[in-house]
Every structure is written in C-alpha cells, then in structure tokens.
Amino acid sequence: MMRTNDQQLFYGDNGTGIVLIHGVTSGCAQMVPLGKMLNDYGYSVHCVNIAGHGTYPQELLRTSWEDAIDKAWYDYDQMKAHYDKVWIGGLSMGACLSLALASRRNDVDGVISISAPMWLDPSCFIMGEYPADQIFFHRDMAGKEGTAKQYHIHYEDIPVRVFGELKGLAAYLNEPGVLERVSCPTFIAQAKDDNIAVPASGPEIYRRISSSDKYLYEPETAGHNMCMNEGRYGLMQSLVGWLDPMDGILK
C-alpha cells in the first residue's frame, strides 16, 4: 500500500479552493510540490488520488476511466461544500479528468490543465504493445532524484489495462462537442518537448474549448512532468500571473 500517497489538504486564507489530480499510475504526492506553491499564495489546495490509485495495484484491475471521473466529481463537491470558488486541475490524466468534469457540469469555476494528452506519443511506455496475457508492467522506482524521488511515487507493478483506460479518456475528450462544452476559465500548460503527450495537445485544447478566458503556456523545455522538475517555476509564474486577474487576490 502506498501510504505516502495519502490525500493531502493545504489550508489557505484567500477563500478559493483548488483540487489537484495526479497522472496515471502515480499518486497524489505527485501534486504536492505544485500544491504547496499555490498554498503559499493563499489557495486551499486538496491533492487527491484518482480512483484506483494510492492503495494497491490490484485496484486498477477493476477501475475504469468513468470511475475516475466519478471520483473527481466527488472530490470537487467536497471542496465546493467549503469554498464558494473552486478550481480543478491536474497533470496528464488528472488534467484530462478536470476537462472531462468541466464538460459535464456548469458549476466548475476554472480548470488547470497540465500536459493533458489528447494524443499519446507512440514511443512512450503507455503506447507499448503488450501481450494479451500480460497483466502487469514493471516500472522501477530506482534512479529518481530530487523532487521526483520524494514525490513521484507510483506502483512498480502497473496493471496494463490502465493504459487502455487513459486512452479511453483521451478518446472521450476527442469526441466532437465534449471540449466545446468547457466554458469556464481554463489555464493550459503544454511543453514543446513533452515525450508522453503529443505537444500539439495543448493548442488543440485551447482551440476547442469555448471559454473566453483561456491561456496557453508552452515552454520550450519542461517535459511532461513539469509539476516536479525545474519547469515548475516557470509554470507557477505563468499560472499565478494568470490567476491574479481571475481572482483579484494577488494585487
């Protein structure tokens, strides 16, 4: 059991809540560095687990992308019960779930989409060709350094079927009319050197959503997991600078 991926809530004092959702196979600890930085600016941030994550890998053998949307819905409602204004965002699959939620309900105050894969890079491990009888894919935790070593805590034995669930979620967002239903303010971050999500994903989301308040941040070198590498400083600078006129908090 991944006890270090227990959900975490950082209380702020500006009256606005943010729900942050991690990427596939990882856990909520992945969002803690960004969550702490946002909390420094007064936001109350809840770093949550996707359905089937943060416990045992076997949970992913019976968890669908629709289950993941339901869990995001629940997490959003929990924050909405305590804060009048709540944003939802995340990294990769977490970003996809945030966009999916905003497409299904009209009370989402804003979305923070980071490295959402409208399409996945054909060379990444998620797109690998796995034998029909293979249940788990082994991804070693060794070799991580710095922030990633402390916070990027994932299942080492990953059920292969979860890759199909991420692809199913991306396919849902690609359906005509889905992203077009996203009308709330939306911040989109997509690095040009992302090797998991095809870099054109960010501009596609920006093009298709209906929001009149939207911003596309495209750093040259920040990678896929820009929440934890050195790219997080540029991400944070752009995000907070954009949130300022949205919330009128940082003046």
Number of structural domains (the chain) is 1
Query: Which residues of the chain, if any, have pLDDT below 70?
Result: 1-4, 141-146, 148-154, 245-251
CATH of the domain at 181: 3.40.50.1820
Domain-located, residue 239: yes
Within a domain: residue 120? Answer: yes
pLDDT at 250: 38
Q: Is residue 219 in a domain?
A: yes
pLDDT digits (tens, 9 = 90+) for 224-241: 999 888 888 999 999 999
Examine residue 251 and state whether it is found in any structural domain, yes or no. Answer: no
For residue 250, being part of any structural domain is answered with no
Structural domain for 142, as ranges:
3-244
Is residue 52 one of the residues assigned to a domain? yes
* Closest C-alpha among 91, 93, 113, 92 to residue 102: 113
Has residue 249 been placed in a domain?
no
Residue 211: predicted pLDDT:
96
> Would residue 83 count as lying in a domain?
yes
Give long-range contacts, CB 8 A cutoff, 24+ apart: 176-182.
178/100, 178/103, 179/99, 179/103, 179/205, 179/208, 179/209, 180/208, 180/209, 180/210, 181/102, 181/103, 181/104, 181/210, 182/99, 182/102, 182/103, 182/111, 182/209, 182/210, 182/211
What pTM, to 2 d.p., does this model score? 0.91
129-138 per-position pLDDT tens digit: 888 888 887 8
Query: Which pLDDT belongs to residue 116?
Result: 98
